Structure 1
Amino acid sequence: MQSSDPQHFFETDAEQATRKRRAAKAGNKYGNPIILKSKILAAVPDPRSPASSLLVAESAGAVRLVNVDDPEDTRTAYRGPTAPVCCVAVGGPNSGTLFAGSWDMAVWSWDLASKTPGRKYIGHSDFVKAVVCITVGGKDLLISGGADKKMIVWDIASGARLHTLKDDMVNMMSIQDLVIDHASSSQDEVSLISASSDPHIRRWKIRLDGWEQAAECSPDAPGSDRRTILEHETTVYKLVLDHDSDEVDLWTSSGDGTVKCLSRIKDFACDDSFHHGGHVRAVAVTDQWVITAGRDEDIKFWGRSSGKLHCSLVGHYDEITELVLLRGSNGLCQRVCSVSIDGTVRTWPLDKAGLDSAVKDQEKPVEEEKKAEVSGEGLLSAEEEAELAALMDDDDDE
């Protein structure tokens, strides 16, 4: 008989301690968890209901619609892949198509409203790890990035492969994230920014008839160009363009433990840095907060203007893979959602009073445990004390 129980296999002391810690932490209700049956590898807001709904990529091979205000309603799923889905995007005509990149090296698509399967885009030779949608010259395009170190530009309607982007001069590794820089784009030429498992961030110019890698002005050597943006020491996991600010700065999270603000007016040189620690998988930015999360399972809220840590919230018991801002009809951020390999979707406030209340709720169990220790509650019972005393007497006799 086969088993997937980790206790049936060899584990190091550290692995055993991690498993026990996570098991003890799994039952907490912080962030009003919605529990799914598989790991969550990515998420985006549902454009039809951006204030309350997410489309999440599951390791079980589906994209699932999750309404954070209705935890029981997780039945809507877009199925097809038999391998994990690791990235999602919405675009195409009238933003009505859902795209998902999978471990099976394909990009799947569905009609968002009817769930009807659409075209399948096949061309990568390894996992598809990032997808974005754009419109260039009146055509709806899809860009996919893979572990094969390539980015492919597709005509959504025909499925034709238009371009394959890669950097042959500076060694580029597995693609981790893609984002469209609308501030530097035009109707006929779109600016794409890519992040990968190497520390280099690259910019690309894409047209219907071709593409080129954009060079950057060097902030260290005025008048010279640099081929890539190099501000991190290792893997860059996430790229976020802050469209709520006039400068539209680029925010990045990295395996070097930091989140950085790369200033557009300084040619994307680092303007601010936040040290979260560990591998930082996700970052979200509002007018008040810089929110960071990753492998250490904690969600940290930093004052955007002060740069100081306001609070750190617990809840997840495995690596956090994405942070998604939920926006109201006025476009303002109302809440932030976190998703994790632990299979839960959790929702957190953005107002200071709400965050302070969440911190107090998380401090209560610790305070109660300390009170129990002081009062003697939770220590040895009378029977256990007698048994311990007898054992100690036996040791003395020996």
Structure 2
Amino acid sequence: MQSADPRHFFETDAEQEKRQRRAAKAGNKYGNPIILKSKILAAVPDPRWPSSALLVAESAGAVRLVKLNDPEDTKTAYRGPTAPVCCVAEGGPESSIVFAGSWDNTVWSWDLATRTPGRKYVGHTDFVKAVVCAKVGGKDLLISGGADKKIMVWDIATGARLHTLQDSEVNMLSIQDLVVDHASSTEGEVSLISASSDPHIRRWKIRLDGWEQVVDTSPEAPGTDRRTILEHETTVYKLVLDHDGDEVDLWTSSGDGTAKCLSRLRNFTCEDTFHHGDHVRAVAVTDQWVITAGRDEDIKFWDRTSGKLYCSLAGHYDEVTELVILRGPGGSGERVCSVSIDGTIRTWPLEKAGLDAAVKEQEKAVDEEKQEVPGEGLLSAEEEAELAALMEDDE
């Protein structure tokens, strides 16, 4: 008889402690968890309900629709892959298609409304880890990045691979994330930014008839070329472009334990650093907050103006893989969703009053747990009386 229970195999003391801690933490209700049956590796808002629904990539090999206002209904899924799905995007004509990159080296697609399987995009030779959509010259494009160190550009309508992007001079490792820089794109050319398992962030210009890697003047050494943006020490997991007034800055999260703001005005050099600690897998930004999360399981809210940590919220009991800002009509009703390898989706407030209430709730729960657990070596009243009687008998 075979078993997958980790307790039936050799475990180090640290592994046992981690498993026990996570088991004890699993039952908490912080962030109103929606519980799925497999690990969640990525998430994006559903374009039909951008303020209340997510499309999530599951390790069980599906993309699942989750409506936050109806958490009991998690049956709607886009199926086909037999390997884990690690990234998801929506796009194509009128954002009508769901795309998912899989461990089977393929990008799958479905009709968003009917869930009918569509074209498969085959060409990568390792896991597909990032997918985004763009439009160039009136043509809808899919752009995928893989663990094979390649970025591929596809014609969505025909499935034809148009280009394969690689850095010919600075060794590029497994692609971790892709983002379209709309502020630098034109009708005939899309600007793309990529992150990978090496610390280099790369920029690309993609046209229908070709592509090029952006090389510009180094801000540290005027007169010399800079082929990549190098502000982190190791893997860059996430890229987020966010408007700050009229300017669009690039936000990053990294395995070096930091999230950074790279200023476009300063040629994408670091303007602010947020020291989250451990691997930072996700970053999200609003006008008020910088939000970070990752391997240490906590969600940290930083004051965007001062750079100071405002609060840290517990809830997840395994690595957080994505943060998604959901905005209601006109920017109302903002909230942030976190998804995790623990299989839960949790929703957190963004207004200070809501965050303060969440902090108090968690502090109260910690105090109650301390009161319920007797101090080490302390005896109950009955045990003390029994011990006193035994001592008298000995006399």
Identify the TM-score tier after normalising by the shorter chain.
over 0.9
Distance in 2 separating the partners of 1:192 and 1:13: 45
> Shift in Å at residue 68 of structure 1?
1.2
> Are the equivalent residues in 2 in contact too, given 1:163–1:210 (CA < 8 A)?
yes
Distance in 2 separating the partners of 1:304 and 1:388: 59
> Shift in Å at residue 216 of structure 1?
2.9
The runs of 5 or more residues in structure 2 that have no matched partner are none
Distance in 1 separating the partners of 2:342 and 2:389: 44
> Shift in Å at residue 381 of structure 1?
3.6
For residues 2 and 185 of structure 1, do their structure 2 counterparts lie closer, same or farther at Cα, with a shift above 3 Å needed? same
Task: Give the match for residue 187 of structure 1.
Answer: 187
What are the residue-to-residue correspondences of 1:28-107 with 2, within 5 Å?
28-107=28-107
For residues 391 and 276 of structure 1, do their structure 2 counterparts lie closer, same or farther at Cα, with a shift above 3 Å needed? farther
2:252 paired with 1:252: yes
Task: Give the match for residue 330 of structure 2.
Answer: 330
Task: Give the match for residue 342 of structure 1.
Answer: 342
Distance in 1 separating the partners of 2:327 and 2:385: 61
Task: Give the match for residue 213 of structure 1.
Answer: 213
Task: Give the match for residue 147 of structure 1.
Answer: 147
Task: Give the match for residue 172 of structure 2.
Answer: 172
> Shift in Å at residue 379 of structure 1?
5.8
Distance in 2 separating the partners of 1:125 and 1:389: 74
> Shift in Å at residue 203 of structure 1?
0.1
> Are the equivalent residues in 2 in contact too, given 1:325–1:333 (CA < 8 A)?
no
What are the residue-to-residue correspondences of 1:11-26 with 2, within 5 Å?
11-26=11-26
Task: Give the match for residue 225 of structure 2.
Answer: 225
For residues 200 and 379 of structure 1, do their structure 2 counterparts lie closer, same or farther at Cα, with a shift above 3 Å needed? same
For residues 113 and 384 of structure 1, do their structure 2 counterparts lie closer, same or farther at Cα, with a shift above 3 Å needed? farther
Task: Give the match for residue 158 of structure 2.
Answer: 158
Distance in 2 separating the partners of 1:128 and 1:387: 67
Task: Give the match for residue 270 of structure 1.
Answer: 270
Q: Comparing 383-392 with 341-350, which one deviates more in the overlay?
A: 383-392
For residues 203 and 390 of structure 1, do their structure 2 counterparts lie closer, same or farther at Cα, with a shift above 3 Å needed? farther
Name the SS of the counterpart of 1:47 in structure 2. coil
Distance in 1 separating the partners of 2:49 and 2:378: 51
> Shift in Å at residue 378 of structure 1?
12
Distance in 1 separating the partners of 2:52 and 2:112: 16
**Partner letter of residue 237 of structure 1?**
Y
> Shift in Å at residue 329 of structure 1?
1.6
> Shift in Å at residue 17 of structure 1?
0.1
Distance in 1 separating the partners of 2:319 and 2:229: 27
Distance in 2 separating the partners of 1:227 and 1:290: 28
Name the SS of the counterpart of 1:163 in structure 2. strand
2:234 paired with 1:241: no
Distance in 2 separating the partners of 1:333 and 1:200: 36
Q: Alpha-carbon deviations, 1:56-98, whole Å to 9, x = none?
A: 0000000001111211011100000000000000000111000
Name the SS of the counterpart of 2:243 in structure 1. coil
**Partner letter of residue 110 of structure 1?**
W
TM-score (norm. length: structure 1): 0.95
Name the SS of the counterpart of 1:363 in structure 2. helix
Number of aligned pairs? 393
Distance in 1 separating the partners of 2:390 and 2:203: 70
Distance in 2 separating the partners of 1:314 and 1:233: 27
Q: Alpha-carbon deviations, 1:289-322, whole Å to 9, x = none?
A: 0000000000000000010000000000000000
Distance in 2 separating the partners of 1:311 and 1:138: 45
Name the SS of the counterpart of 1:159 in structure 2. coil
Distance in 1 separating the partners of 2:382 and 2:220: 72
Name the SS of the counterpart of 2:345 in structure 1. strand
Q: Comparing 350-359 with 223-232, which one deviates more in the overlay?
A: 223-232
Task: Give the match for residue 137 of structure 2.
Answer: 137
> Shift in Å at residue 369 of structure 1?
3.6
Distance in 2 separating the partners of 1:309 and 1:136: 41
> Shift in Å at residue 247 of structure 1?
1.1
2:317 paired with 1:317: yes
Distance in 1 separating the partners of 2:112 and 2:6: 38
For residues 384 and 295 of structure 1, do their structure 2 counterparts lie closer, same or farther at Cα, with a shift above 3 Å needed? farther
Distance in 2 separating the partners of 1:333 and 1:239: 24
Q: Alpha-carbon deviations, 1:357-391, whole Å to 9, x = none?
A: 000000002222445579x8996445655788999
> Shift in Å at residue 218 of structure 1?
1.2
For residues 389 and 56 of structure 1, do their structure 2 counterparts lie closer, same or farther at Cα, with a shift above 3 Å needed? farther
Task: Give the match for residue 282 of structure 2.
Answer: 282
Distance in 2 separating the partners of 1:98 and 1:287: 29
TM-score (norm. length: structure 2): 0.95
Q: Identity across aligned pairs (percent)?
A: 81
Q: What RMSD in Å do the two structures reach over aligned CA positions?
A: 2.1
